[in-house]
Amino acid sequence: MYKRLCVVKPRISKRTYATASNSTADQWSGWETVIGIEVHAQIKSRRKLFSESFNSTDEPPNTHVSLFDAAFPGTLPRLNRYCVDLAIRTALALNATVQPKSAFDRKHYFYRDLPSGYQITQNYAPLATGGFLYLDKAQRRVGLKQIQLEQDTAKSTYAPSLGATQIDLNRAGAGLMEIVSQPDMRSPEEAAAYVRTLQALLRSVGASDGNMEQGSLRCDVNVSVNRIGEPFGTRCEIKNLNSIKAVQVAITSEVYRHIDLIERGLPVAQETRGFDEERAETFKLRSKEDAPDYRYMPDPNLPPLLVSEAHVDKVRQTMPELPPALSARLQVDYGLTEKQAEVLMSVDSGVNIGYDGEVAPPGAVPYFEEVARGRDPKVVVNWITQELLAQLSRRDEPFIANPIPPSALGELIDLLQAGQITGTSVKTLIRHIFNSPSSDSPLSISTLMDELGLKATSSDLRAVCEKAVSLLPQEAELVRKGNEKVLMKIVGQVMKLSKGTADGKAAREMLQEILRAKE
Amino acid sequence: MQTATTGFAANLPLDTALDDFNAFVSLSTSTEGSNAGRGALPKGAKIAIKDNLCTADLPTTCSSAFLQDFRPPYDATVVSLLRTAGGDIAGKTNCDEFGMGSFNTNSTHGPVINPFKPQDARTQASEAPRSAGGSSGGSAAAVAADLSYAAIGTDTGGSVRLPASYCGVVGLKPSYGLVSRWGVVSYADSLDCVGILAKSVERVQNVFDVICRFDQKDPTSIPQDVRDRSKSRTDHSLDVWSHLAPGRFDGIKIGIPQEYFPTEMDASLRSQFRKTLETLKERGAELVPVSLPSTKYALSAYYVLASAEASSNLARYDGVRFGTYQKPAPRTDLSDTSAVYAQSRSKGFGAEVRKRILLGTYALTADAFDNYYLQAQRIRHAIKRDFNSVFRSPNVLLQNPNPPTTGGVDVVLHPTAINSAPRLGDAVQQGVDGYVQDVLTTPASLAGLPCVSVPWCVAADGWPVGMSVVGQWGDDRVVLRVAELTEDLER
C-alpha cells in the first residue's frame, strides 16, 4: 500500500516508508496529524426511527416502506422509543451526558435518496453531549462532542445496464446514531483503533451491529496537519469510508497530500473529499464555497424529546455489561487470557442482544459461562474457540446456529476428563452433530456414542488399562504368572482411574489381553 | 346556471364545473346516504371535504396540477371518523392550491363563486361574481348553497374563517392539536388546523363532536389528559352560563381588542361593530377593552413562518413516487437532482405556491434565518403572551401559566375581515395587498387558539361580513357557546 503512495508522490520520496502500520509517526516526524471521526451507526431496532415499518437487511427492494418513508402527503412522524433507549445506552457506555431536553430539526436538500426533501436530525440540540472513548493500546482518550439521532437515507445504486440509478427505500427513515468525536486522534492507527473499539462497544450494548461491510456503520473522517508546535491546520473531510482499512489508508493519503501542499507553500483548501479505493487516494467532492446551505429548521411536528433522570437510570440498569468490565470478569473469575476473552466477546455482531436491545438466544459468553460451571474453564474455552467456533466459521454461520446445547458439550468434556472418550472422539462427535443435527431433543451423547461406536473404545480402555498395569507392576507380574484373583485388583485400578465409568467386564478382558501379550 | 358577465368571469370554466359555484371538484358516487342514524350526525348528513384532505375513494388534488391524478390509498383520520359516525361524504371541494390563498382563485379547477345573494334585488341583477374567500372557498360555498350539511376545511392563517365571513356562514378553527392532522396535506405543520363550516353553530358543534379526538398517528395531537384538564374548566363555564335566560349575556366577559381596527377596515364596519357592542351591553355582557400589542406584527410573522414551513413541506413533490412527473428537457444534467426535480415542480406548482416556496426557502437560508425565521418566532411568542395575559382562564399547555388575577375575559370579539368579499376580477391582482385580508385572522392562528366566525352584518355593498369569537386554548366549547348566543343578535 505504501509503495503505491511512493509512486504517486515522488516529491516526498526522500522519506522512508515503513512496511508495518505503526511507524507513521516516524514517517511524519515534525508533523502533527489531527483526526476527528463522525460515525453513523444504524440503530439495532426492529422498526424505523419515525415510522412503523420494519428495518430490513437483505429483503427485496422497496418491500419495507411505509407511506411516511415514501413521504406521501398527509403522513406524519412518530418517534420510536426503542431507538431513543438504544441511543441512551450508547451515551452511557461512552460516558456522555444525556440531555434532559433535545430537539429534532429538518436538514433540507434535494437528492434522489431523500424522498421528503429533508432529513430529520438533531442539529441544534442533540440527545447527548460530551463523553469519551479510551483506546487501550494507544493509551489515548478520545473525547466526544455529541451523539444525535437522525434518519438514514434510501439506498441508490447505479445500474449500468439500465443507464439509470435505482432507489431502494427499505433503508429510508431507518434510525441512525451519529457519534461525533473531538479531533483527538493523532494517527491513522489510532483512528482505526477508535473505530474498532467503538464497534465493539456498540455491539456489546446491542445498540448497533456496527458492521462496516454490511453498511451498519459508516465513517466520515476529518483530517488536518500542522507542524509540531503550531496551531491546527485546515481540515478536510473524507466521506463514505467503508472499511477500517479504508479509513487508515485514506487518512494516510490525505496527510501526505497536506504535507506536500504545506511544504510547497500552498494553502490547504477546506474541502470535502471522497476516497478512491483503487488508487488509494482522496479526491475533491466539493469545496467550502460549494457546501450546501441546509436551511436547518426545527421540525414543527415533533415536540422536544424529554428524557428524565429516572428514565436514564432505568436504561442504565437494564443495560448489558460493557466490554472492559466483561473482559475483566472473564479473566479474573475464569482465568481466561485476554485473547480468549476477546474471542468469546467478539463472536457475531452482539454478545447476546437481539433487536430493540432485547436479550436474544444466548451468545458465546453466556454459553461459555454455563458450560464452565463446575468444570475447568480453560478446558471449556479451548473446546469452544477451537472446535465449536471453528465449525461455525467454516460454515459461515452465526453462533445462534450452534447445534450443541451447553449440557451436551459439558457432558463431552466430562467424559473426556474421565478418560471415557478421547479428544479425537470428541471432535468426531462435534463434527457429526454439526453435519447431521439430531432432530430429537434433548441431544443424547450416549446414544450418539453408541451409533458411532465411540463408547468406551478399546483404544481408550486400552490406555486406561495400560496405565493401571503400569501403576501396579507387581500385580501385573502376578497375573502373568497365572494369578487370576489379582487381576480383579487391577480391574479395580482401572475403575478408579476411569472414575467408575469403565465397563468392568471389558476392562477385565482388555487386561488379560494386555498381560498375556507381554508374555 | 349563473351567467358570467364581467371580463374576468367570462373565462370561468363554468361549463365543466360540477355545480353552479364550482364548489365541488369531485363528487362521491357511493350511496351511503342510508345511514341508519347510528352515528352522532343526523341521518343522511352530507359532509363536503376540502380537497387537501386525503380520501381513498376520491382524488385528492389540493387544487394543484401537481396532484391532479393523485389518489391516495388512505383516508385522513377526520374522514374516517366522519364515515364511522354515519356521515355521507358528498365529495371534495375546491380550494386554493395547497391551501395558499385568500380568495380561492389559485386553483387548477378555476375559482369558486360566492353563492351569496345580496338582499337588494336591484344590485343583484348587475352583480359581478365575487370571491368565496380562501383557501377553503369551496367548502364555504358548498354549505352556503345548501349543497351539504357541513363541510370540512383547513385553517392555517384564516382559511376557514375568511370564507365563512365572505359567504355568510359559520366557520370554526379549533384549538391547535385537538383535531387530527393525519391525512391532511401539510402546508404549515405548526399552523394547520382542520376546521368546520356550516350554516349554524349547532351543525358545526355536531361535526366537531365527531372529529375532536386524540389520534396517536399525529404527534401534535394533544393527549387525553390535557384534553380532560381543559374540559373540566370549560364544563364549569358552560354550567354557569346554562342558567342564563335566552338571549342574555350576563356574566360573560368579552374582550374588545383595540388593535383589530386597522385603517384598511371598511368604515361602515366600525360603526356597525359599535352598535353590536351596545346591543351586547344591553343584554348584560361585560365589555372589557383589551390590548394585544404584538398584533401589528402578526401578519408578517405569519407569512414568514408559513412560507418557511411550506418550502419544507412541499420539498417532497418531485413526481417520482406520486404526482405529475415532467420528463426532463433533453440537455438536462440527469445527475443533478435539483435540475431534474425543478422541471416537475415548476410545471406542477401554480404561481402563488412557487412564490411562497421561494420566499420560505430564502427565510431559512443561513444569512436570513436570524432576521426572518427567528424574529417571526419571537413575534409568535409575544402574540401568545399577549393572549395569555387577557384571558381569564390559564393556558393548560403551559407549565406555569400566569393568568391575570383580575379583569381577565372569557372571549375576545372582533370583526373577522376588514371588508366583504371582493369581486373575482379584483381578487386576482394580489401581491402583498392580498395578504392584508388575513390581518385579523392570523393572530389566533399563530397562538393556536380556537376561533369561530359567525355571520354578523353586511357591509355597505350588501355583502356579508363575519364576527370572530376567540377563546383560550382548549375553550372551543366556550367559544361555540358564545357564538351561538350571538346568532340571536339582530343583524
Closest CA to B410 of B340, B311, B478: B478
The answer to whether A85 and A316 have CB atoms below 8 angstroms apart is no
Percentage of chain A modeled with pLDDT above 70: 89
Question: What is the Cα–Cα distance from A342 to A347, expressed in whole angstroms?
Answer: 9
The 10s digit of each residue's pLDDT in B234-275 is 999 999 999 888 889 999 999 999 999 998 898 899 999 999
Task: Please state, in angstroms and rounded to a whole number, the distance separating the CA atoms of residues B198 and B44.
Answer: 15
- In this structure, is the dihedral angle defined by the CA atoms of residues A278, A280, A286 and A291, taken in order, positive or negative? positive
Count interface pairs A-B at CB distance under 8 A.
89
Cβ of A80 under 8 Å from any chain B Cβ?
A: no
The more confidently predicted of residues A137 and A17 is: A137
The set of cell numbers assigned to A112 is 434522489
Question: Nearest chain B Cα to A294, which residue?
Answer: B365
pLDDT at position A8: 39
Closest-CA residue of B relative to A78 is: B219
pLDDT over threshold 60, residue A9? no
What three-state secondary structure class fits A102? strand
Inter-chain residue contact A118 with B219, CB threshold 8 Å: no
CB atoms closer than 10 angstroms to residue B222: 20
List the single residue in B182, B364, B369 with the smallest CB-CB distance to A74: B182
- Say yes or no for a CB contact (<8 Å) between B220 and A303: yes
Sequence-distant (6+) residues with CB within 8 A of B290 are B255, B256, B257, B258, B390, B409, B412
More confident residue, A494 or B159: B159
| A52-77 b/e (C-beta count within 10 Å ≥ 16 → b) | ebbbbeeeebbebbbbbbbbbbbbbb
Q: Whole-angstrom Cα distance, residue B22 to residue A73?
A: 24
Chain A, nearest residue to B360 by Cα = A295
Q: How confident is the model at residue A14 (pLDDT cuts 50, 70, 90)?
A: very low
Band (pLDDT 50/70/90 cuts) for residue A361 is low
Cis omega (within 30 of 0) on the bond before A442? yes
Active site residue B173: no
- Rounded to the nearest integer, the mean pLDDT of chain A is 87
Q: Record the cell numbers describing residue A494, joined without a space.
A: 482401572
* A21, pLDDT greater than 60: no
Is any Cβ of chain B less than 8 angstroms from the Cβ of A101? Answer: no
Return the C-alpha cell found at A77: 412522524
Per-residue DSSP letter, B409? B
User: Which of chain B's residues have a Cβ under 8 Å away from the Cβ of A67?
Assistant: 74
* B60: closest chain A residue by CA: A73
Residues of chain B contacting A, Cβ within 8 Å:
53-54, 60, 62, 67, 70, 72, 74, 76, 181-186, 188-190, 216-220, 308-309, 311-312, 315-316, 318, 320-322, 337-338, 341, 361, 364-366, 369, 373
Instruction: List alpha helices for A264-287, DSSP H.
Output: none
Q: Residue B90 in 3-state DSSP? A: strand
Bridge partners of A98? A128
Pairing of the two strands B46-50 and B411-415: unpaired
C-alpha span between B420 and B439 (Å, rounded): 14
Q: Given the C-alpha cell 365589555, which residue does it identify?
A: B287
In chain A, % of residues over pLDDT 90: 56
Measured in angstroms, the CA of A111 and the nearest CA of chain B are apart by 5
Which range is least confidently modeled, A173-177, A182-186, A398-402, B110-114?
A398-402
- Please check whether residue A173 touches B, CB under 8 A: no
Q: Which of A73, A111, A302 sits opposite B337 (nearest CB)?
A: A111
| B159 is annotated as an active-site residue | yes
* pLDDT tens-digit map of A54-98: 998 889 999 999 999 999 999 999 999 999 999 999 999 999 999
CA-atom Rg of chain A in angstroms: 31
Cell numbers given for B407: 379583569
Segment A434-440 long-range contacts (CB within 8 Å, at least 24 positions apart): A434/A391, A434/A395, A434/A403, A434/A404, A437/A403, A438/A403
pLDDT at A2 over 50: no
A112 touches chain B (CB under 8 A): yes
Q: pLDDT, tens digit, for every residue of A388-403? A: 999 988 888 888 888 8
Interface-testing mutation among A110, A162, A169, with chain B (most B C-beta atoms within 10 A): A110
Tell me how crowded residue A157 is: count the other CB atoms within 10 A of its CB.
10
User: CA B47, B48, B50, B51 torsion: positive or negative?
Assistant: positive
Q: Which of B337, B369, B446 to mutate to test the interface with A (most CBs of A within 10 A)?
A: B337
Q: Cell digits for A232?
A: 491546527
Residues of B in contact with A295 (CB under 8 A): 361, 364-366, 369
Report in angstroms the alpha-carbon separations of A251 from A115, A422, B214: 33, 52, 53
From chain B, pick out residues whose CB is under 8 angstroms from the CB of A156: none
pLDDT computed for residue B370 by the predictor? 92
ipTM rounded to 2 decimals: 0.94
The secondary structure of B100-166 as a DSSP string is: --SSS-S-TT-PPBP----S-HHHHHHPPPBB--SSSHHHHHHHHTTSSSEEEEEESSSTTHHHHHH
Please tell me the distance in Å from A174's CA to the nearest CA on chain B: 18
Q: Is B315 helix (H, G, I), strand (E, B) or coil?
A: helix
Chain B residues with CB-CB distance to A77 below 8 A: 219
What is the maximal distance between C-alpha atoms in chain B? Answer: 75
A416: its cell numbers? 473426556
Distance from the A98 Cα atom to the nearest Cα atom in chain B, whole angstroms: 22
CB count in 10 Å sphere of residue A385? 18
- Mind telling me how many Å the CA of A276 is from chain B's nearest CA? 19
Residues contacting residue B207 through CB under 8 Å, at least 6 positions apart: B41, B47, B82, B87, B150, B152, B196, B198
The answer to whether A103 faces chain B, any CB pair under 8 Å, is no
In the beta sheet, which residues pair with residue B308? none
> Which amino acid, residue A183?
P
**Are A295 and B216 inside 8 Å of each other by CB?**
no
Q: Which residue has the cell 394547520?
A: B192
Q: Which of B191, B209, B184, B195 is nearest to B162 (CA)?
A: B195
CB-based contact B185 A74, cutoff 8 Å: yes
Tens digit of pLDDT for each residue in A238-288?
Answer: 998 989 999 999 999 999 999 999 999 999 999 999 999 899 999 999 888
Is it the case that residue A191 has pLDDT exceeding 80?
yes
Q: Please name the member of A108, A111, A301 whose beta carbon is closest to the beta carbon of B189.
A: A301
A436 to A29, A402, A403, A444: CA distances (angstroms)? 59, 12, 9, 13
Residues of B in contact with A297 (CB under 8 A): 308-309, 312, 364, 373
Residue B385 three-state SS: helix
What is the tens place of the pLDDT at every residue in A435-460? 886 665 566 777 777 777 666 555 56
Task: Please tell me whether the peptide bond between B422 and the residue prior to it is cis, using omega within 30 degrees of 0.
Answer: no
Identified catalytic residue from B50, B173, B199, B384 = B50
Instruction: Give pLDDT, residue A3.
Output: 40
Which pLDDT does position A12 carry in this prediction? 33
Catalytic residue selected from B63, B64, B159, B186: B159
- Distance (Å) from the C-alpha of residue A202 to the closest C-alpha of chain B? 29
Task: Nearest by CB to A295, from B189, B218, B365: name it.
Answer: B365
Quote the pLDDT of residue A251: 96
- Region A38-51: what's the mean pLDDT? 97
The pLDDT value given to residue A518: 61
The ranges of chain B with pLDDT < 50 are: 1-11, 34, 36, 491
- The C-alpha cell 386597522 sits at B262
Say yes or no: A77 contacts chain B, CB-CB below 8 A.
yes
Cβ-contact B94, B25 below 8 angstroms: yes
Residue A18 has pLDDT above 60, yes or no: no
Residue B275 cell numbers, joined:
352598535
- Give me the count of residues in chain A: 519
* pLDDT for the residue numbered A16: 32
Taking the Cβ of residue A296 and every Cβ of chain B, the question of whether any pair is shorter than 8 Å is answered with yes
Which chain B residues are Cβ-neighbours of A73 within 8 angstroms? Answer: 54, 60, 62, 67, 70, 72, 185-186, 316, 322
pLDDT value of residue A25: 57
A317-356 pLDDT, tens digit per residue, is: 988 888 788 889 999 999 999 899 988 887 764 456 778 8
pLDDT-derived band of residue A106, with 50, 70 and 90 as boundaries? Answer: very high
Which cell numbers in the block locate residue B186?
Answer: 401539510
